[in-house]
Amino acid sequence: MSKPLRVGMIAGEASGDLLGADLMASLQAHHPDIEFFGIGGPRMQALGFDSLFDMEELSIMGLVEVIKHLPRLLHVRKTIVKHFLDNPPDVFIGIDAPDFNLGVEKRLKDKGIKTVHYVSPSVWAWREKRVFKVKAATDLVLALLPFEKAFYDRYQHPCAFVGHPLADRMPLDVDVPGAWQKLGLDEHHPTLAILPGSRGGEVARMAPLFKEAVLKLKADNPALHFLIPAANAKRREQIAAVFSDVSDVTVVDGQGRQVMVASDAVLLASGTATLEAMLAKKPMVVAYQVHPFTYWLAKKLVRVKRFSLPNLLANDDWVPELIQDDATPERIFEAVKGALGDAQAQNPQRFRALHQDIRQNASEQAAKAVLELLC
């Protein structure tokens, strides 16, 4: 390409900002004469991204919060679409945030602008028919996980499996002594990492449940220590209040990845943290509870039998999953006791194989797929 390449992008939260910055760096390596504009965070802006709105305007979670901010969100989307149509990019890349980005992508694609969605919505898990909305809005989907590409292949929609950036960032062989040193821990004890979630509602549901299991584990093995990473100051206060009367519990500011690496096993709520625990090669137990109505509705809509990422990647039940009524202190205790006994068994090697499968240099693969779309 002889002319300057213009790339429109929208990232809606911190994880998207990180993905976007890595993708920008890879695209710049292939095509130094390039312009980026749209909505992005500080990491993207540090690489020369022209952000027309503050990314924080899109970082809204929860139905009530979205409704409250809906007029502003609609204004931002209308304004940014008009800007892209008045100043057409060669390609637009929506990074995650499907509720916002797919609407933008549809309007741009209808006007002949190439569109890419980076990070597939979980159409393979629930509301499968949303795939037709994705097809109508995008020319290409960049998928982080191999089974996502298989899903789009069934619907004959272009999709490139690029691998998962977390798998690129985490080494195949973890440094346990180094993690202890970074956490300022003097000596190694039998240790369980506990991750009750990063949001207040999650912690309110899961931390008391995990505490009851911890008390049973302490009674069974008094030498066992517990590390709990807190996502922020509010979560630290919340977690510390729940575990204030339990001995051998250390609450750590952030550093969730180091906490998992330093531990012998992990007890955690479902989510991306299950992937990090797998990449840390740690046996784990995944437990989760939601509001009863939410669970009833999810059972109607969700089509997958497994919900933790290691099990989804393996297409097998490698990791104990305790959901809703199965997530009792007694069952968590038994499962964690088994996971601690599995610390040197087969799961670390299984997890290493999965790590290699998704360690594809994601940003480079994504950049190549975007440039190929423009050829």
- Beta partners for 91? 7, 114
* Cβ neighbours for 309, distance < 8 A, ≥ 6 positions apart: 145, 272, 274, 275, 278
Tens-digit pLDDT profile for residues 19-37: 999 999 999 999 999 999 9
In angstroms, the CA 320 to CA 335 distance is 7
Listed in order, strand segments (DSSP E) in 236-280 are 249-253, 265-268
Predicted pLDDT of residue 271: 78
In angstroms, the CA 315 to CA 354 distance is 11
In angstroms, the CA 238 to CA 234 distance is 6
- Nearest 5 degrees, angle CA 197-CA 68-CA 79? 105
Give which of 265, 243, 270 is closest to 324, Cα–Cα. 270
Predicted pLDDT of residue 59: 65
User: Can you tell me whether residue 238 is helix, strand or coil?
Assistant: helix
Per-residue pLDDT, averaged over 205-216, amounts to 94
Give which of 353, 374, 314, 362 is closest to 160, Cα–Cα. 362
Predicted pLDDT of residue 297: 65
In angstroms, the CA 59 to CA 51 distance is 15
Predicted pLDDT of residue 270: 76
In angstroms, the CA 46 to CA 53 distance is 15
Tens-digit pLDDT profile for residues 89-146: 999 999 988 989 999 999 999 999 999 999 998 877 667 788 999 999 999 999 999 9
* Cβ neighbours for 216, distance < 8 A, ≥ 6 positions apart: 329, 330, 333
Per-residue pLDDT, averaged over 215-220, amounts to 95
Give the burial class of 292: count Cβ atoms within 10 A of its Cβ; 0-12 exposed, 13-18 middle, 19 or more buried. Answer: exposed
Work out whether the CA dihedral 328, 331, 336, 342 comes out positive or negative: negative
List domains and CATH numbers for the chain: 5-163+360-374 (3.40.50.2000), 176-358 (3.40.50.2000)
The whole-angstrom distance between residue 336's C-alpha and the CA centroid of its chain comes to 23
Q: In this model, does residue 306 exceed pLDDT 60?
A: yes
In angstroms, the CA 368 to CA 23 distance is 10
Question: Residue 188: what are its φ and ψ, rounded to 5°?
Answer: -90, 130
Tens-digit pLDDT profile for residues 312-361: 899 888 899 998 888 899 999 999 998 888 655 557 788 999 999 999 99
- Beta partners for 229? 252
In angstroms, the CA 283 to CA 288 distance is 17
Q: What is the DSSP pairing of strand 114-118 with strand 140-143?
A: parallel
Per-residue pLDDT, averaged over 35-57, amounts to 93
User: Can you tell me whether residue 168 is helix, strand or coil?
Assistant: helix
CA torsion angle 200 205 211 217 (round to 10): -120
Q: In this model, does residue 60 exceed pLDDT 80?
A: no
Work out whether the CA dihedral 330, 335, 341, 343 comes out positive or negative: negative
pTM of the model: 0.80
Between 331 and 186, whose confidence is greater?
A: 331
**% helix / strand / coil in the chain, to the nearest 5?**
50, 20, 30
